[in-house]
Amino acid sequence: MMTKVKYKLGVDIGGTFTDFFLVSNTGESVMHKTLSTPEDSSIGFITGLKELAEKCSLSDDEFIQSIDTIVHGTTVATNTLLTLQGAKTALITTKGLRDALEMRRGIREEQYNNHYQNVTPLVPRSLRFTLDERIDSDGNVVTSINVDELELLVEKINTENVESIAICFMNSYLNNTHEKQVAIYLRKHLENVFITASCEVLPSIRFYERVSTTVVNAYIGVDVDSYIASLQEKLKKLNFKGGFSIMQSNGGVVSPEVVRKIPAVTVLSGPAAAPIAGAYYAKMLGYDNCITMDMGGTSFDASMVVDGQCITSTDGDINRYRIALPSLDIITIGAGGGSIGWVDSGGLLQMGPKSAGSLPGPVCYNRDGKEPACTDADLILGYLDPNFFAGGKYTLNKDKALDQLNKTLATPLNLTDIETAAGMYRVINMNMAQGVRQVSVERGYDPREFLMIVAGGAGPIHAGEICRELEIPMFVVPNAAPIFCATGMLLGDLKHDYVRSYIKRFSQIDKKTFLALYDDMIQESMDTLSSEGIEKENTQLVPTLDLRYVGQYHEVPLQVDMDNVSSFDLDVIKNAFHKEHNRQFGYSLKEEGTELEIINVHLRAIGITEKPNSFAKMDDAEPVKNPDFALKSKRIAYIPELDDVQEISVFDGDLLTGKYSIEGPAIIEQINTTIFLGKTYDCDTGVGGSFIVYNRDHYPNGFDINQKKLGK
């Protein structure tokens, strides 16, 4: 009897490549990359599917039939915001408050730069309309909507051919009847227009965050909607009958139907999978805390996992457009393989944030790039093999890189080419390390207590030096590093976030009202999860309260137990808040007896999905073997600890599938990843198919996976 193989597939569409990660119910996995098709990214998606079928020696139809789940990360929303190619959008808001969206509370991010411009508002002032309506700060109607005025407004909007409309009224978080009334009216009177009311997207206090988030939703709505519709259509044509879900910015997955209603949940759809995958790999090794770093062509992303959970925040923005929906807290700095080195007017070497991108790209790509970039330095320093870039798909031009580096950097700096390239390497590593330090300190954590998980092609060349600067004792390069986000897609649960504002001092919280808010959110979440086919026993409810001491301006989110909410156990919540406040800020006002104030109540409803059997097998018992058979060559490379070059061994990482130990300095090459081990580092393989690189000073007796302890 033949057992039928079933697959789960993660698909991550990036700027250059579309990544695929296929896992079977028997534990086998396949990685695949194909070129992205930015004009219509569903084309690359389908091409990749067919290429995978071939890789699995199945016909297209057999292959499609054997996939029971596809999880997809899309960059459509992000790109729409970055390129400003979204729908022609109008905004309807309260009379007298027409400009909140564009004013952005009057911030200018660069205070000494008088040429620094405000962002182009997603809705120009000429399409921002106001209605004479008002709800007061207690939720009472002060001025009702005049239907005649609304009728006139629709006539006006009709002449403008808008494709999308956002509705956001003052204090609607307390009373949404006006927004609903207008939304119903518009949906009835305007055909083929995407309509979003703020109460459907983010029903919480803070007018600016709400209007901005609602407008973003409207602006990207049409594009995301049509992309998903077209993708679903194409999958249907291929006779795909399995489950299809989309990765959200909050690290959870969701059905396409929900995304088509609130497309703004996907603005970080791609990168959000990285910390999810990071948390998984860390857990597999027995660690609860990790920092995930992903160094790409133009940017460096870092995010933190604490106690097994990815940190979520509502402080996000894309391209300076504020989006206050919960999303994974990922910081991005302008450091990547394409970051350009330059000499400032004081004669100091700087790296980035300007990037050569993929066109023209670094000088060594041979595409007319003239400005030496980080990848050129990595090549000159011997970390990259000019004939084995992307597994030999491309040849890098080292002579050209050297020539341009000498011309533009080494000569003005009066340094040798190696000194210059080493300088570029050191400076960019410092930039990334400072970026990581800043995120951890800002969130109240010490980076030394975190394991570093390194994704992406260029990351493992730089990770050692970043970790040395931060005193992080070890980093892990997962076997799936080159398609890291695609693996994360398969690990996400269904997640839905709900919020209601309830502004009350603790002593004045009304039990009935408070519980009713939760009942309302629970009901909504259960309906959604059940429509996505989740059984009740596979659901999990995670409430969070936004709290602050009376007199403070910023609220602090506090995750609590559902039990404490249902039993209305405010004392437990109070004490937990004092503790969390003390952890984050170094003080609490418990002794002073300062009263707490509640601002928002959140609910995250999780539908636990079935995970792939195993990503890679763990084998503790296997003895450590000699890696010499995998020795590819020797080459001269820069050793940062010595500030000098030296001949070192290069291993073929793809051969090291068992348990091996490699002593630094050395290079481990795989098709899409190169790991550099400095003089202080050793590397163990075989644990979960990952490369574990640890600092010998911290682990003088070698690394013991069962030690589960970071540092000396």
Partner 1 sequence: MVKIDKILLSIFQRTFKSITDEMSISLTKTTRSPILCEAKDFVTGLYDAKGNMLEQTENLPILSFSLGPVCRVILDQYGEDISPGDVIIHNDVFSMGNQNNDVAIFKPIFHEDTLIGWAAAKGHQADIGGAVQGGYNPNATEVWQEAIRIPAVKLYEKGKLREDVWNLIFANIRLTMVQEDIKAQIGACTLGERRLQTLVEKYSIETFEAHKQELFSATEKMMCSEIAEIPNGVYHGESMVFYDGKHKGSEFTVRATVTVKDEAITFDFSKSSEQTKGFVNGTYTSTCSAITLSFLQMVNPNIPHNEGMIKPLTYIVPEGIILNASYPAATTFGNHLCPQVADSIAIALSEAIPDKVTAGWNHLLCSLFTGNHPKTNEKYVDICFLGLKGGSGALKNSDGYDHIGMIDASGGILDQDYEMFEQQSPHMLLYHEYLQDSGGPGKWRGGLGVKTKIKLGGDDTTMVVFGDGDVKTPYGLFGGKTSVLNKISLTLPDGSEKIPMSKDMIEGIPSGTIYDQIAGGGGGYGIPIEREKDSILKDVKNEVVSKNQAKEVYGINIEDNT
Applying CB under 8 A, the residues found at the interface with partner 1 are 96-100, 102-103, 105-118, 124-126, 136-137, 170-171, 173, 205-209, 344-350, 413-415, 419, 422-423, 426-427, 430-431, 434, 437-438, 441-442, 444, 503, 505, 552-554, 584-587
Find the shortest distance in angstroms from Cβ 39 to partner 1: 29
- Closer CB to partner 1, 353 or 386, in the complex: 353
DSSP state, 389?
Answer: B
- 451-455 and 474-477 beta bridge pairing: parallel
- Closer CB to partner 1, 103 or 624, in the complex: 103
Q: Indicate the helix (H) or strand (E) that contains 511.
A: helix 511-531
- Closer CB to partner 1, 107 or 621, in the complex: 107
Residue with tokens 């009373």: 175
Cα dist from 509 to 105, 562, 596, 597, whole Å: 31, 17, 11, 9
Cα dist from 157 to 154, 160, 190, 418, whole Å: 5, 5, 9, 63
Find the shortest distance in angstroms from Cβ 643 to partner 1: 9
Any residues with CB less than 8 A from the CB of 628 and at least 6 apart, and which?
A: none
| Alpha-carbon span 425 to 465, nearest angstrom | 9
**Cα distance between the two ends of the chain:** 54
- Closer CB to partner 1, 206 or 500, in the complex: 206
Find the shortest distance in angstroms from Cβ 162 to partner 1: 15
DSSP state, 2?
Answer: P
Residue 639 β-bridge partners: 644
Find the shortest distance in angstroms from Cβ 193 to partner 1: 21
CA 75 to chain centre: 11
- Closer CB to partner 1, 143 or 181, in the complex: 143
**DSSP, residue by residue, 221-283:** HHHHHHHHHHHHHHHHHTT--SEEEEE-TTS-EE-HHHHHH-GGGGTTTTTTHHHHHHHHHHH
- Closer CB to partner 1, 149 or 419, in the complex: 419
**DSSP, residue by residue, 117-168:** PPPPPSS-GGGEEEES-EE-TTS-EEEPPPHHHHHHHHHHHHTTT-SEEEEE
**CA-wise closest residue to 687 among 479, 483, 488, 474:** 479
Find the shortest distance in angstroms from Cβ 172 to partner 1: 9
**CA-wise closest residue to 540 among 375, 335, 309, 347:** 309
Find the shortest distance in angstroms from Cβ 95 to partner 1: 8
Find the shortest distance in angstroms from Cβ 316 to partner 1: 17
- Closer CB to partner 1, 413 or 671, in the complex: 413
- Closer CB to partner 1, 111 or 161, in the complex: 111
Find the shortest distance in angstroms from Cβ 268 to partner 1: 23
Tell me the one-letter amino acid at 532: E
| Alpha-carbon span 122 to 259, nearest angstrom | 20
Residue with tokens 């995970």: 611
Task: Please provide residue 227's backbone torsions phi and psi, each rounded to the nearest 5 degrees.
Answer: -65, -45
**CA-wise closest residue to 27 among 511, 471, 615:** 615
Find the shortest distance in angstroms from Cβ 40 to partner 1: 32
Residues 233, 231, 538: CA angle, nearest 5 degrees = 100
Residue 351 β-bridge partners: 341
- Closer CB to partner 1, 37 or 434, in the complex: 434
- Closer CB to partner 1, 205 or 264, in the complex: 205
Find the shortest distance in angstroms from Cβ 112 to partner 1: 4
- Closer CB to partner 1, 276 or 470, in the complex: 470
- Closer CB to partner 1, 194 or 549, in the complex: 549
Find the shortest distance in angstroms from Cβ 69 to partner 1: 41
| Residue 266, token pair as written in the block | 């996907």
- Closer CB to partner 1, 60 or 419, in the complex: 419
Find the shortest distance in angstroms from Cβ 641 to partner 1: 13
**DSSP, residue by residue, 523-582:** HHHHHHHHHTT--GGGEEEEEEEEEEETT-SS-EEEE--HHHHHTT-HHHHHHHHHHHHH
Find the shortest distance in angstroms from Cβ 451 to partner 1: 22
| Alpha-carbon span 78 to 61, nearest angstrom | 32
Residues 668, 672, 674: CA angle, nearest 5 degrees = 25
- Closer CB to partner 1, 204 or 479, in the complex: 204
Core vs surface per residue 307-336: b (16+ CB within 10 A) or e:
eeebbbebebebeebbbbbbbbbbbbbbbb
Find the shortest distance in angstroms from Cβ 228 to partner 1: 33
